[in-house]
Structure 1
Amino acid sequence: MPDGQHTATREVIAADIGGTHARFAIAGIENGQVVSLGDPCTLRVADYDTLKEAWRAFGQRIGRSLPGQAAIALACPIQGDVLTMANNPWTVVPADLPRDLDIDPPLLLNDFEAVAHAIASLHSSCLPHLCGPDRPLPKNGTIVAIGPGTGLGTASIIRRDGRTLVCGAEGGHMGFSPFNDFEDRLLDRLRTVHGRVSAERIISGPGIIPLCAQLSEENGEAWRDLDDKQLWTLALEGHDRVTREGMARFCQALGGFAGDMALAHCATAVVVAGGLGKRLMDVLPTSDFGERFIAKGRFECMMRKIPVRMIRYPEPGLFGAASALAQQPATGNTLKT
């Protein structure tokens, strides 16, 4: 940009719609970057019947006119005339959003694609080391992002000669690949319930339930009918043996899946994100994640050379959605009143 020229800051809405929560914030973007991100408004999806109702509640909570431009990250593939969320009951019709939300046609992207945009834009200080070589994300190559939460998100960041391309994916819905006898038995257990068993059935927040159920059965212990939030709380507290072992098995499975994704993409780096990834930030480095990540037979030497990092940022989905929109051509900054 020539000296003396300055692009005014645009206000936009960033939204991150997941399986459990819908998050909204006002972001400021300028010169292709996010320069500010307001306090997030977090709503429970279960409390609203539609995105329109949650959007209206967000506007009421912040008590001001909303910008007319928006980036909306959704936990589903962004394909077709009707978008069906993977882990919540909402459906979204893209053509109806300008009318329903009183905005310009929004930028729609997969929720984990938004997280990948955040990874591509955040400073290295927000990406602490997990395992492998402790070096920054490479300037060239493919960076794989994975994130366990309500589901299991995946995306890739492709860097070539100063250019960056972010691609969403649905890797969490690939078939689960067992590594040992315990995971064979777990897979058999889940097949009786689901038929086909995706990686997400185990490597996600709810995955702690079948893991602990299998461990309880094999240890001859009575199964406690607890939900995944209660089981994760017990696991992270560290006093309960079954949930602690379930968490250890989870970290192993996550490491194996991360390594498979890295191998599939010939990745030059991997980043673990997701709501559950954030909760496990202090657990993963001392778990068997790294051992399972590299356990790829003839490719073990190659796997050892791949840096694996985590993400430490309060709302990467919101930041990433805003970042993706910042890189789109400007169309003005309309305020809806």
Structure 2
Amino acid sequence: MSKATQIVAVDVGGTHARFAIADLGADGSITLGEPTTLRTSDHAGFQTAWEDFRGQQGGALPNKVAMAVAAKIKPDLISFTNNPWIIRPPLISEKLGVTSQVVINDFAAVAHAAARAPADQFLHLAGPEEPLPETGTISVLGPGTGLGVAHFNRQSATHYHVQATEGGHGDFAPLDSIEDAILARLRRRHTRVSNERVVSGPAIVDIYQALAVMEGRAVHEKSDVEIWTAGVSGADSLAAAAVDRFCLALGSVAGDIALVQGASGVVIAGGLGYRIRETLVASGFETRFCAKGRFTSLMGSLPVKLITHPQPGLLGAAAAFAQTYL
């Protein structure tokens, strides 16, 4: 390949669809153009959103597309949990007028982004302050609406393989009496309590309410957004305690995933992780990550990073296209 290949990179979530023109260089570089963000609720389906973006780009788009979607990838029909759109992969070429396409799960795209992002787009969280290793398995997890988990295995600095997983649905394992109380509260509604019932954005409500009950306080109905805002700012001491408890649980789960996947490094991803980055660094996240009994010293040897790239879904979609075709 003698010159850059242009593609349309797309990241479709429940609330927003993000589009950008990406240049894939002959040297393996990926350059994203300025992203355009459209609300899914403003469009009848993906095709009308595509046409909106095409109009904003002057009426013409590259004939190659890479899509990251917040949905399970199926060969014939992809439906979303948090928006009414559907995508039929066999019809993408015809409907969008493209000759090449890649469609991957959104968290697989995040793992691709973690594999391709430069060192200066990572914030150090725990372990040795050194770059992620150039070989071995890197675990990637991101708390958001749920808990996304994936990993990639590096054979070299430029060759890697991404594997999406359902690791967020592993069993939650409490480590102290406070987490016992959180688990007991959740078990009233869920026979089996998975990690994402505790380590996800909406889970902060149950953590907050469990702490209120422990302290004999009235349980006020607050949204997850209200609790996160008050907790991160320190405006509400109970909300701040809930955020700290979340950080502890995230450390424990991240450590478990690293052990299960045989990781030589870990990446925390997602907007929520970035929002609480300062709290994570100052919290007991690292202590909990390493608290694995006979493997404590091993855990302490793993670099743990937070990816700070502003558009990991778009970067990851473009990286998946490059890996598939180039």
TM-score by length of 2: 0.92
- Counterpart for residue 335 of structure 1: none
Give 5+ residue unaligned stretches, structure 1.
Answer: 1-5, 331-337
- Kept in 2, the 8 Å contact 1:205–1:228? The answer is yes
Paired residue type of 2:211: L
2:155 corresponds to 1:177: no
Aligned to 1:261: 257
Where in structure 2 are the equivalents of 1:192-207 lying within 5 Å?
Answer: 192-207=188-203
Question: Is 1:302 aligned to residue 298 of structure 2?
Answer: yes
Normalised by the size of structure 1, how large is the TM-score? 0.89
Which residue identity does 1:274 align to in structure 2? G
- SS of residue paired to 1:142: strand
- Tell whether the 8 Å contact from 2:290 to 2:300 is kept in structure 1 after alignment: yes
1:239 paired with 2:235, answer yes
Partner SS for 1:106:
strand
Change (3 A) 1:115 1:67: same
SS in 2 for 1:323: helix
Match of 2:147 among 146, 149, 152: 152
1:105 to partner: Cα distance: 4.9
1:21-32 alignment to 2 at 5 Å? 21-31=16-26
Q: Confirm or deny that 1:128 pairs with 2:123.
A: yes
Please list every run of 5 or more consecutive structure 2 residues that lacks an aligned counterpart in the other structure.
none
Per the alignment, in what secondary structure is the counterpart of residue 167 of structure 1? strand
Structure 2 residue 266 is matched with structure 1 residue 270:
yes
Q: Check the 8 A contact 2:30/2:318 in 1, yes or no.
A: no
Which residue number corresponds to residue 66 of structure 1? 61
What does residue range 7-156 of structure 1 map to in structure 2 within 5 Å? 7-31=2-26, 33-156=28-151
Do 1:13 and 1:69's aligned partners in 2 also have CA atoms closer than 8 Å?
A: yes
Partners of 1:200 and 1:46 in 2: how far apart?
26
Q: Distance in 1 between matches of 2:188 and 2:27?
A: 50
8 Å contact from structure 1 (residues 32, 326) kept in 2:
no
- 1:70 CA displacement: 0.8
Equivalent pair of 1:25/1:41 in contact (CA under 8 Å): yes
CA distance in 2, matches of 1:165, 1:137: 15
Pick closer, same or farther for the CA change 1:220–1:90 going to 2, 3 Å.
farther
Alpha-carbon deviation of 1:86? 4.5
The count of corresponding residues between Structure 1 and Structure 2 is: 325
Aligned-pair identity in percent equals 43
Post-superposition offset of 1:181: 2.1
CA distance in 2, matches of 1:89, 1:231: 28
Q: Considering only aligned residues, what root-mean-square deviation do their CA atoms show, in Å?
A: 2.0
The question of whether the paired residues in 2 share the 8 Å contact of 1:87 and 1:151 is answered with: no
CA distance, structure 2, for counterparts of residue 301 and residue 327 of structure 1: 35
Counterpart residue type for residue 14 of structure 1:
A
Deviation at 1:150, TM superposition (A): 2.1
Residue matched to 1:213 = 209
Inter-CA distance 167–291: structure 2 relative to 1 (3 Å threshold):
same
State the alpha-carbon separation in 1 of the partners of residues 185 and 39 from structure 2: 31
CA contact (8 A) 1:34 1:323 kept: no
Counterpart CA distance in 2 for 1:249 and 1:87 is 27
